[in-house]
Structure 1
Amino acid sequence: MDYNINFPHLHIYLDHVGKNIMIGNFSIAYYGIVIAIGMLAGLGIACWMAKRTGQSSDTYFDLALVAIVCSVIGARIYYVVFRWDLYKDNLLNIFNLRQGGLAIYGGVIAAIITTFIFARVKKLSLGLLFDTAGLGLVLGQIIGRWGNFFNREAFGGYTDGLFAMQLPLSAVRNSDVTQELLDHVVKVDGISYIQVYPTFLFESMWNLVLLICLILFTKHKKFDGEVFLLYLAGYGIGRFWIESLRTDQLLLPGIGYPVSMALAAILVVISIAWIIIWHVKHGRKQAQVEQSGEK
């Protein structure tokens, strides 16, 4: 009965949501399948945008070969560093991705570094690469978050709101269950459920809206890199709010503040400041040109 996932106020009751699928003698985690689908879809939309903007789609196939691997490694390192308590007694678990444990911001940081190096080596426009590949990153996040659904992870605290999600207590990690959740355990047919915010769903939907906005904005951008900066700002705003709801926050050592909230706030400020500074400088240059023309 650990397979049940319910949304009682929406009258949605899912009785057989497994974590793995058997193919022959092999067990493959749905988490991995969903992440892979997200990566392929992300590559697809990046290639689509590349063609729309007169670029070669081959560039993004080449970038994906490197960036995807580096992003997964970066996402894992980020997670392990801030959840060292889960791995210090069994280091081999660091290499076991079947149970989840990928931090998106770690993947984003790795992707930024990889794209920067790729642009330098290939002598390509870094801003244009970021703008195009960034759309793929957002779509990958939209789909990839559903891997958390299958893994029963990345959920928020207790809620009895419209989108409340019920998970069997026995199906989630003990470290993700707060006292508040235990105080509001719901029993249905003898099974104990915790009732939580489906934060994976909130983030997926937020990113879907963000992706639509970024695609619409692309033809109106004033400089290469502006779309990606808007992604960092838009995602950061949403992530700051959503992270505040989660029970599995990665915390800064010695401070106890959620690292993703801190990083989100920093990236929002930097991105918005960068865009404002560019437009101010460009506005001044344009004004000087117009004044020179009048003379």
Structure 2
Amino acid sequence: MLGQVNPVAFNLFGIAVYWYAVIIVSGIVLAVWLSSREAVRVGLKEDDVIDFMLWGLPSAIIGARLYYVIFQWQDYVDNPIEIILTRNGGLAIYGGLIGGGLALFFFTRHRFISTWTFLDIAAPSVILAQAIGRWGNFMNHEAYGPATTRGFLEGLHLPKFIIDNMNIDGTYHQPTFLYESIWNVLGFIVLLLLRRKKNFLKEGEVVLSYVIWYSFGRFFIEGMRTDSLYAFGSIRVSQLFSLVLFFGAIIILIIRRRNSSVKFYDREKGTVKKAD
């Protein structure tokens, strides 16, 4: 359709390389760079972050795929070979966070690094990468909301290329990808501001703040999407998971805040300690 963005960035040896992949990889590279810089500030090494990616990235991709397949099993039960064909779509961010989180737990235990500190290092970078990644959904013409009018989109003062790309099969839709991207950028800024305040957050509270912020926004934005995964009939999986994460993170934060043995997150080089 005239005015819509071509999801294919370029062709390499006859294979189409999609903007989705280019944008996702760009977000990951930026996240690794930012996390590496923060790691050095707290007394770790850049290599700790880079080495983790050898564990975390494959685990995140597998987790993202399995999460999607589990809740869309009816699409794969008769043709299971489709499970490994990720070029056809089907990755879920919550599954990626679960897979990457499990890999991080075992990696930090293997390296004798505080899991909470490593999570605090990664959290702002991860939410920024998520903000960037949502533009991959935009390029793929997916992760959009209910039908709306062009007048409504113009009233949001959006650039023309976004408005045109929200015309899906002749109908304009809410740009929920953009809502989440903006929410995540705001979360990135909030986390940086919180992390910079000395003796304000205890170890683990940067990542818990990330979970609270992201899950709160995702709950409402997910409710607008037209491509949600469902469980138990009409319950949106990501909304249910968001509620669990939101309240779970608050409870853990309260418990850790009351625990006097949990140290404050310290960004001064060479002072990282193992959490109690």
TM-score range, shorter chain: 0.7 to 0.9
Deviates more, 1:90-99 or 1:63-72: 90-99
Write the mapping of 1:131-142 to structure 2, written as runs, cut at 5 A: 131-142=120-131
The answer to whether structure 1 residue 226 and structure 2 residue 205 are counterparts is yes
**Superposed counterparts of 1:80-91, under 5 Å:** 80-91=69-80
User: How many residues align structurally?
Assistant: 248
Secondary structure (helix, strand or coil) at the match of 1:98 reads helix
Q: Using the TM superposition, name which of 130-139 and 242-251 deviates more.
A: 130-139
Is this contact kept in 2: 1:50–1:132, CA < 8 A? yes
Q: Which runs of 5+ in 1 are unaligned?
A: 5-13, 170-192, 284-295
How many angstroms apart in 1 are the aligned matches of 2:223 and 2:233?
16
Indicate the structure whose relative CO is greater, using CA pairs within 8 Å and at least 6 residues apart.
2
The alpha-carbon deviation at position 31 of structure 1 amounts to: 1.4
Alpha-carbon displacement from aligned partner over 1:180-221 (angstroms, at most 9, x marks no partner): xxxxxxxxxxxxx12111111111111000011111111334
Query: How far did 1:26 drift?
Result: 2.1
* Matched residue, 1:242: 221
**What is the deviation of 1:30?**
1.7
Match in the other structure for 1:75: 64
Query: Structure 1 CA distance, aligned partners of 2:5 and 2:57?
Result: 31
Question: Which one-letter code corresponds to 2:192 in the other structure?
Answer: I
Q: Which amino acid aligns with 2:144?
A: F
Q: In the TM superposition, what are the counterparts of 1:95-244 in structure 2 within 5 Å?
A: 95-160=84-149, 161-162=152-153, 163=156, 166-169=166-169, 193-220=170-197, 221-244=200-223
1:146/1:84 Cα in 2 relative to 1: closer, same or farther (>3 Å)?
same
The code of the aligned residue for 2:26 comes to: I
So what's the TM-score if we normalise by structure 1? 0.79
Contact 1:70 1:111 in 2 (8 A): yes
Residue type at the aligned position of 1:196: H
Tell me which of 249, 256, 259 is aligned to 2:234: 256
Matches within 5 A, 1:33-44: 33-44=22-33
Distance 1:47 1:127 in 2: 16
Identical-residue share of aligned pairs (%): 35
Q: CA deviation at 1:20?
A: 4.7
Change in Cα spacing, 1:234 to 1:280, as seen in structure 2 (3 Å) is: same
Asked if the contact 1:158/1:197 (under 8 Å) is kept, the reply is: yes
Equivalent residue for 1:10?
A: none
User: Are 2:8 and 2:16, in contact at CA under 8 Å, matched by a contact in 1?
Assistant: no
User: Equivalents in 2 of 1:265, 1:138: separation in Å?
Assistant: 18
TM-superposed deviation, 1:270: 1.0
Structure 2 contact 5–139 (Cα < 8 Å) conserved: no
Distance change >3 Å, CA 263–CA 81, structure 1 → 2: same
CA distance in 1, matches of 2:72, 2:4: 31
> 3-state DSSP class of the match of 1:101?
coil
1:100-152, Cα deviation, whole Å (9 max, x unpaired): 31100001111111111111111111110001122222122111111111111
Q: What's the C-alpha RMSD, in Å, of the aligned pairs? A: 1.9
SS in 2 for 1:145: helix
Q: CA deviation at 1:16?
A: 4.4
CA contact (8 A) 2:230 2:236 kept: yes
Alignment gaps of 5+ in structure 2: 157-162, 262-276
Aligned runs of 1:7-26 on 2, under 5 Å? 14-26=3-15
Question: Which has the larger Rg?
Answer: 1
